[in-house]
Amino acid sequence: MARINSNYRKLAAGYLFPEIARRTETYVQEHPKTKIRKLGIGNTTEPLTATVLEGLHRGVDKLATRETYSGYGDEQGDSRLREKLAEYYKRRNVQLDPKEFFISDGAKPDSGNIQSIFSLDNVVAVQDPAYPVYVDSNVISGRTGEHEPEQGRYKGLLYMPCNEENGFIPSPPREKADIIYLCSPNNPTGAVATHAQLKSFVDYARQQKAVIIYDASYSEYIEDDALPKTIYEVEGAEECAIEINSLSKFAGFTGVRLGWSVVPSALTVEDSRPDELRSMWNRRQSTFFNGASNIVQEGALSVFTEQGLKESSELVEYYMENARIIRRGMQSLGLTAFGGDNAPYIWLKAPNNLSSWEFFDKLLQETGVIGTPGVGFGPGGEGYFRLSAFGHREDIEAAVTTITDNLTL
Ligand SMILES: *Cc1c(COP(=O)(O)O)cnc(C)c1O
């Protein structure tokens, strides 16, 4: 008799996005003439750049002749791409070996899968609020207890509160944590950890023999050059941190799919042998995954050319101008807005002590604009609201104008 993995039953119902859809649908039925405008989605909208398209076409064409055809590629990903990545990190004075890079189909799969190389009795710490994958992947694997609806928390998970007082970047936990997830620039709060803040986590992890899973998916949105773009800018991080990144937000690869993880040879935890974690991740990936598409890797190679990087940063700049437009608009209304300066998310404080969902309803009723209730990312997001800078400029401008013209405070 087969039995299910009953950890799936612990998952708090995928409540956020279906509930947004339900409330939007009700509103549309009651107000068929009002235009719905979305500022809620973390998905790219602008076309791929010319250089990336050339790379993708080259990848396709290579498959057309016997001489250039390729089947399964290098296990860890195209070695040319891993060399390019190592070179790219050198720009930040970070020395990594191409063999420490693992090419994948994205940062979401890697951030969900990485926990599988660690023991089930590790204590997991997450930022609160957080990108849901870190929590859900550990629930499914059995590293948590039941979900407690009153607190909106899972038993056995350590929540590191992110709030106005700490600028939405927590301090290392006082309790003992073994696996710590950090995301900077942060989705949903838009906060970015400073070098000193990352150092405090690296110090903690080295002392405790803990591991940091560092999601740097928005690193290219950092405009302030003093802020770290990779955790390996902090000395000693290669001993305690795995970094995950992707081209999704950097180069519009959300639908194309390409990411990478860095598992340094120097990484060690309590019971690991030298270089063991890197070979375990290699084993995990070569068992469950057969590599990113060769066409897509060819496109990724084009991102890491001078012209490709220039075009990608223009793409990022486009979304960051959207972020400034949103932030300025919200502030002109007297709302308190965080983020949006080194990240494509604006983290709005709901006015008049409204809850996240109360503000969602108010914004929808008064303006027809949809955002994302902060509480959907964890109990620490209650009273906040996420606005996303991904969208066509004209849609962003129209949504902001609708809000500034119609929202009553
Ligand atoms: C968008 C996003 C990702 C990207 O995932 P991909 O699988 O590479 O598209 C990863 N982490 C966070 C926090 C994100 O917001």
CATH of the domain at 328: 3.90.1150.10
Closest ligand 1 atom to residue 247 Cα is 8
Q: Do 161 and 121 sit in the same domain of this protein?
A: yes
Question: Which ranges of the chain have pLDDT less than 70?
Answer: 14
Which residue ranges have their beta carbon within 6 Å of ligand 1? 42, 106-108, 111, 131, 183, 187, 215, 217, 246, 248-249, 254, 259
Atom of ligand 1 nearest to the CA of 249: 1
Q: Are residues 228 and 299 in the same domain?
A: yes
DSSP annotation of 177: -
Same domain, 89 and 227: yes
> Closest ligand 1 atom, CA of 131?
13
**CA 205-206-209 angle, 5° bins:** 75
Q: How far is the CA of 259 from the centre of ligand 1 (A)?
A: 9
Residue 256 confidence (pLDDT): 98
Query: Across the strands, what pairs with 126?
Result: 159
HSE, CB side, 13 Å, CA atoms: give it for residue 387: 34
Please tell me whether residues 293 and 340 are part of one structural domain. Answer: no
Ligand 1: residue of 44, 217, 247 to mutate (most ligand atoms within 8 A of CB) is: 217
Nearest CA to ligand 1 atom 2: 217
Quick one: 242 and 124 in the same domain?
yes
Residue 103 lies in a domain: yes
| Residue listed under structure tokens 């860095």 | 262
Ligand 1 centroid from CA 389, angstroms: 15
Q: What is the pLDDT of residue 261?
A: 98
The Å distance, Cα 66 to ligand 1 centre, comes to 36
Q: What share of the chain is helix, strand, coil (3-state, %, to 5)?
A: 45, 15, 40
Residue 149 in any domain: the answer is: yes
Q: How far is the CA of 137 from the centre of ligand 1 (A)?
A: 14
Which residues fall within 8 angstroms of residue 301, CB to CB, at 6 or more apart? 55, 78, 80, 81, 84
Per-residue confidence (pLDDT) for residue 192, from 0 to 100: 98
Distance between CA atoms of residues 261 and 245, nearest Å: 6
Judgement on whether residues 216 and 88 belong to the same structural domain of the protein? yes
Pocket test for ligand 1, best of 246, 257, 386 (most atoms within 8 A of CB): 246
Per the domain annotation, does 27 fall within a domain?
yes
Residue 41's pLDDT is what? 82
pLDDT tens digit sequence for 64-96: 999 999 999 999 999 999 999 999 999 999 999
Indicate if 210 and 267 belong to the same structural domain.
Answer: yes
pLDDT score of 318? 98
d(CA 331, CA 338): 10
Whether residues 208 and 355 fall in one domain: no
Same domain? For 191 and 259 the reply is yes
Query: Residue 197 sits in a domain of what CATH number?
Result: 3.40.640.10
Q: Is residue 7 part of a domain?
A: no
What number does the ligand 1 atom closest to the CA of 258 have? 8
Question: If 0-12 CB within 10 Å is exposed, 13-18 middle and 19+ buried, where does residue 125 land?
Answer: buried
Please identify, among 278, 304, 330, the residue that sits at the C-terminal boundary of a domain.
Answer: 304
Instruction: Please give the tally of structural domains in the chain.
Output: 2
Q: How many CA atoms lie within 13 A of 181 on its CB side?
A: 30
Decide: residue 152, CB within 10 A, 0-12 exposed, 13-18 middle, 19+ buried.
middle
pLDDT, position 40: 84
Choose the final residue of a domain: 275, 304, 333: 304
Say what the pLDDT of residue 16 is.
Answer: 87
Picking from 304, 336, 367, the residue at the C-terminal end of a domain is 304
- Indicate if 26 and 92 belong to the same structural domain: no
Q: Which domain holds residue 295?
A: 51-304
Torsion of CA 136, 121, 124, 103, to 10 degrees: -70
CA 245 to centroid of ligand 1, rounded, Å: 8
- Please list the residues that pair with 154 across neighbouring strands: 147
* Shortest-distance atom of ligand 1 to CA 253: 9
Nearest CA to ligand 1 atom 12: 217
Question: What's the rounded Cα separation, in Å, for the pair 116 and 285?
Answer: 11
Ligand 1 centroid to Cα of residue 107, in Å, is 5
Q: How close is the Cα of 44 to the center of ligand 1, in Å?
A: 11
Q: CA triplet 8, 10, 12: central angle to 5 degrees?
A: 100
Backbone φ, ψ for residue 242 (5° rounding): -110, 130
Beta strands 337-339 and 345-349 are antiparallel
73 with 105, same domain: the answer is: yes
pTM of the entire predicted model: 0.97
Q: Does the residue 5 lie in any domain?
A: no
Classify residue 22: in a domain, yes or no: yes
Ligand 1 atom at shortest distance from the alpha carbon of 259: 8
23 plus 159 within the same structural domain: no
Residue 401, domain member (yes or no): yes
Report the atom number in ligand 1 closest to the C-alpha of 186: 13
CA-based nearest residue to 46, from 265, 333, 322: 322
Residue 234 in any domain: the answer is yes
